[in-house]
Amino acid sequence: MEIPYKIYLSESEMPRYWYNVRADMKKKPAPLLNPGTHKPMTAAELSGVFCDELVKQELDNTTREYPIPEEILSFYRMYRPSPLVRAYCLEEKLKTPAKIYYKFEGNNTSGSHKLNSAVAQAYYAKQQGLKGVTTETGAGQWGTALSMACSYFGLDCKVYMVKVSYEQKPFRREVMKVYGASVTPSPSDTTQVGRKILQEHPGTTGSLGCAISEAVETAVSNPGYRYVLGSVLNQVLLHQSVIGVETKIAMDKYGIHPDVIIGCAGGGSNLGGLIAPFMGEKLRGERDCRFIAVEPASCPSLTRGVYAYDFCDTGMVCPLAKMYTLGSDFIPAPNHAGGLRYHGMSPILSELYHQGMLEAVSVPQTAVFEAAEAFARVEGILPAPESSHAIKAAMDEAIRCRETGEEKTILFGLTGTGYFDLVAYEKFHNGQMDDYVPTDEELTAYAAKLPKI
Amino acid sequence: MEIPYKIYLSESEMPRYWYNVRADMKKKPAPLLNPGTHKPMTAAELSGVFCDELVKQELDNTTREYPIPEEILSFYRMYRPSPLVRAYCLEEKLKTPAKIYYKFEGNNTSGSHKLNSAVAQAYYAKQQGLKGVTTETGAGQWGTALSMACSYFGLDCKVYMVKVSYEQKPFRREVMKVYGASVTPSPSDTTQVGRKILQEHPGTTGSLGCAISEAVETAVSNPGYRYVLGSVLNQVLLHQSVIGVETKIAMDKYGIHPDVIIGCAGGGSNLGGLIAPFMGEKLRGERDCRFIAVEPASCPSLTRGVYAYDFCDTGMVCPLAKMYTLGSDFIPAPNHAGGLRYHGMSPILSELYHQGMLEAVSVPQTAVFEAAEAFARVEGILPAPESSHAIKAAMDEAIRCRETGEEKTILFGLTGTGYFDLVAYEKFHNGQMDDYVPTDEELTAYAAKLPKI
């Protein structure tokens, strides 16, 4: 069977279930802990913050497959299947014997993979009869995705947007408004936690951690609202597994077996989703594969953080999660790859990394933009800075193959487009790009403040 | 055979030829005239401005099918096939018995259909051994598309960008730079014609007509350069026929026959391409269909212009074309639907309109943005303002079907995405949208200045 240049599944071939990688992990990710008692969070405790069905998914370490509800499948059909593309032009440019594939999740108005979980979370909120949801957004992809999903299901949507992104990406706000969401720069004076952070750090440009605190406070203090999160959580990785399942169906159809799978990692939603079914095969001992998380050198939670219980948010109102973390009050340098500015990492990916099932590398920002531009010129797509971390690592891997002569099959996740990141591209063109990396002393100081559990 | 929600052709089903609608027109579009002698432009005269192969295509009124060169097919495979989508959610919202389909051309980094002709024109320039090309761009889609194509083939690319768009859409500049193009706001002091226009209209926000003059002057005064144009010309409609041919193959496969086909029309490249093979059937008497051009009320060349020979550019350096025109020095009000600000209309479409084969309507801008937002909320895609003219007309048609109970099949062209148009969306949200329409007196005054031929 001839392999097409771009593989699109037909509607009948598309995944009808999400895959829960926890079911195949012998050692499960550590449970979320109640920040007061340090005991595992119960479903009852979590249900004040999250929808009931999402709480169930969050805590379920055993069910391997979740059927995707018909309403969500209908929404998925609006922008899925996403193409699996053979990067012939990139291979030629790199003169590599490697075969490079990418799964492109940017062909929807949110501009990224985030829509996969947004629609699921909005659907369950609607099913539960809620009025609306609150959330945070970094670069804006998640907020846009959630706005689209809420508009579709007729839910109110309140978004706290990390201030640096709110200011650098004003157009993202307008897209969210097109879909009827309200958008507040974070930290803000609309919440107790926001006011406290502003008082302690008056000039702060914000962080995902702050914005999460504000969104959670708003959800629990408004009846009929729940909080939803675009990454980190087990439920999000479950929904995002649609990326990996779709990729695997496409690859299996043509007998393609990746030797290495690469994804950018901020909170871990894309990487966790992309690798899920392939990691399942590895965990079950059926087929081996390397997995590489790529994070920014400015926010290196896996490569330089510690594996410990920590707060998911700066305001310390959320449950504690065991994860690779830089400390919940670590505020990264204003890094234009906004979506990867999170201090921690998905507990699932953290545990897999701890078990040695997953590798991690960190890359400096300028090198990421160089890779982004090189990719754009040969493959046509203008990539998001976040996604470009994966491009950079995939190119490095392909160059190693050129040196060793190995004909590896490399798969990477191209999570989104960079149409809203042109301020960053402009800085790159003007030589104003910041390559700040935190010092060991800084990281040690943050780590010393981790909760003692 | 069940019809998928989105129809993607497989690579083997994709068009391998462009369709030249002129071959099926009994009365051909009027020839371009030499502005000095008023005699038809010869191939020799045109070859100073355009590549030789493109001159041939421009003048060829008889060849029905042009095989698409293999190198162009390879490039097309990077972003084609584009999906043909059934707008179920829009139908439901409008409670219409009509079946609405749209051909979505926005899923590539140029954000529009413009890439279809850009790659063809860059390819032929490269084949001829040229150093580079010059062009104008309005909203920036064409300039972006050409930059991408030139980057792929290793050609230099000089873009004159209408000043109002250059200022309102700074990010488009950066995209063009990612692909290595140089971008100059027009009118500029880099050309004689630009300096003249600036002297006569010091505060002008520019127009496509001005920018064309500057780009042509730069091409003819730099050895190894030729000028390329993103719309209006016969050659461009030929390349854009890939949209219509692809649509027709998809529709024929599933036995779908459109009753009405709707497209926005500035210079006519998208509409001309989309309708081409369907118009061919009508011209040959094989199957009837209605065709509707939708233009902005602020720049109504078909609905309020005159059918006469006119200059294609403000500086009057280009050949004369017979077309529906508002006059070559008509400068439309600063209208955010930048791509539809052209004073004239493709000679092919003008002749078809004159023969009564094509209808035209004009729509005011606020109504267009209302339609755009309604569409975005139910169909997910954030449309370009240009494309939203077609959405508005398609919605109006579907609403009429609701009233009459007719189950018409409506097809419209969704030419691009609005990610770079959020300044306009912001104005719309803030009630600052301009609905200026030129008065009859203004139009009469412009028409009085048309060349006497």
**What angle (nearest 5°) sits at the alpha carbon of residue A151, between those of residues B104 and A276?**
75
B123 touches chain A (CB under 8 A): no
List CB contacts (< 8 A) between A381 and chain B. 108-109
Distance from the Cα of B351 to chain A's closest Cα (Å) equals 36
Cα dist from A209 to A47, A121, A297, B409, whole Å: 21, 20, 18, 50
Mutate: best of A115, A179, A382, partner B, most B CBs <10 A: A382
Q: Which amino acid, residue B158?
A: K
Q: How confident is the model at residue B167 (pLDDT cuts 50, 70, 90)?
A: confident
pLDDT, tens only, B111-131 = 999 999 999 999 999 999 999
According to CATH, the topology of domain A23-63+114-227 is Rossmann fold (3.40.50)
Q: How confident is the model at residue B352 (pLDDT cuts 50, 70, 90)?
A: very high
| Residue B336 pLDDT > 80 | no
Nearest by Cα to B83 from A82, A259, A276, A352: A82
Please give the Cα distance from A424 to B278 (Å, whole number): 44
Q: How confident is the model at residue B179 (pLDDT cuts 50, 70, 90)?
A: very high
A419 touches chain B (CB under 8 A): yes
Please give the Cα distance from A70 to A60 (Å, whole number): 21
Distance from the Cα of B167 to chain A's closest Cα (Å) equals 15
CB contact under 8 A, A425 and B174: yes
Question: Which two tokens mark B48?
Answer: 């100073």
Query: What is the β-pairing status of strands B306-311 and B409-414?
Result: unpaired
A378 touches chain B (CB under 8 A): yes
pLDDT, tens only, A361-400 = 999 999 999 999 999 999 999 999 999 999 999 999 999 9
Instruction: Work out the average pLDDT over A276-296.
Output: 98
CB-based contacts of A318: which residues, under 8 Å, 6+ apart? Answer: A35, A49, A212, A213, A216, A311, A312
pLDDT, tens only, A322-371 = 999 999 888 777 656 656 888 999 999 999 999 999 999 999 999 999 99
pLDDT, residue B398, reads 98
List CB contacts (< 8 A) between B376 and chain A. 109, 178-179
Closest-CA residue of B relative to A427 is B174
The percent of residues above 90 in pLDDT, for chain B, comes to 81
| Residue B175 pLDDT > 70 | yes
Mean pLDDT in chain A?
A: 94
pLDDT, tens only, B392-419 = 999 999 999 999 999 999 999 999 999 9
CB-based contacts of A404: which residues, under 8 Å, 6+ apart? Answer: none
List CB contacts (< 8 A) between B8 and chain A. 8
Mean pLDDT in chain B?
A: 94
pLDDT, residue A338, reads 58
Please give the Cα distance from B178 to A418 (Å, whole number): 11
pLDDT, tens only, B212-235 = 899 999 999 999 999 999 999 999
Distance from the Cα of A164 to chain B's closest Cα (Å) equals 18
Distance from the Cα of A359 to chain B's closest Cα (Å) equals 31
List CB contacts (< 8 A) between A373 and chain B. 178
Q: Which amino acid, residue B182?
A: S
Any idea where the domains of chain B sit in the sequence?
Answer: 6-12+69-111+235-447, 23-63+114-227
Nearest by Cα to A51 from A121, A111, A137, A135: A121
List CB contacts (< 8 A) between B426 and chain A. 174
Contact A72/A119 with Cβ under 8 angstroms?
yes
| Residue A193 pLDDT > 80 | yes
Q: Which stretch of A387-396, B196-205, B352-361 has the lowest confidence by average pLDDT?
A: B196-205
pLDDT, tens only, A207-255 = 777 898 999 999 999 999 999 999 999 999 999 999 999 999 999 999 9
Distance from the Cα of B180 to chain A's closest Cα (Å) equals 9
Among the partner residues A152, A380, A382, nearest to B78 by beta-carbon distance: A380
List CB contacts (< 8 A) between A179 and chain B. 376-377
Distance from the Cα of A194 to chain B's closest Cα (Å) equals 27
- Number of other residues whose CB lies within 10 A of the CB of residue B43: 12
B 21-80: CB under 8 A from A: 77-79
Cα dist from A92 to A86, A89, B114, whole Å: 11, 5, 26
CB contact under 8 A, B419 and A148: no
pLDDT, tens only, A298-325 = 999 999 999 999 998 877 778 999 999 9
CB contact under 8 A, A422 and B175: yes
CATH 3.40.50.1100 corresponds to the domain A6-12+69-111+235-447: yes
Please give the Cα distance from A84 to A210 (Å, whole number): 36
The percent of residues above 70 in pLDDT, for chain B, comes to 98
A376 touches chain B (CB under 8 A): yes
Mutate: best of B422, B430, B433, partner A, most A CBs <10 A: B422
pLDDT, residue B335, reads 59
B430 touches chain A (CB under 8 A): no
Nearest by Cα to B297 from B198, B368, B349: B368
CB-based contacts of B199: which residues, under 8 Å, 6+ apart? Answer: none
A254 touches chain B (CB under 8 A): no
| Residue B342 pLDDT > 90 | no
Size of interface A-B (CB pairs under 8 A): 99
pTM of the predicted model as reported, rounded to 2 decimal places: 0.93
Please give the Cα distance from A192 to A195 (Å, whole number): 5
Q: Which stretch of A69-73, A208-212, B198-202, B324-328 has the lowest confidence by average pLDDT?
A: A208-212
Q: How confident is the model at residue B81 (pLDDT cuts 50, 70, 90)?
A: very high
Instruction: Dihedral sign for Cα B274, B280, B281, B285, please.
Output: positive
A23-63+114-227 matches A6-12+69-111+235-447 in CATH topology: yes
**Omega of the bond prior to A223 within 30 degrees of 0, cis?**
no
Mutate: best of A73, A74, A105, A107, partner B, most B CBs <10 A: A107
| Residue A88 pLDDT > 80 | yes
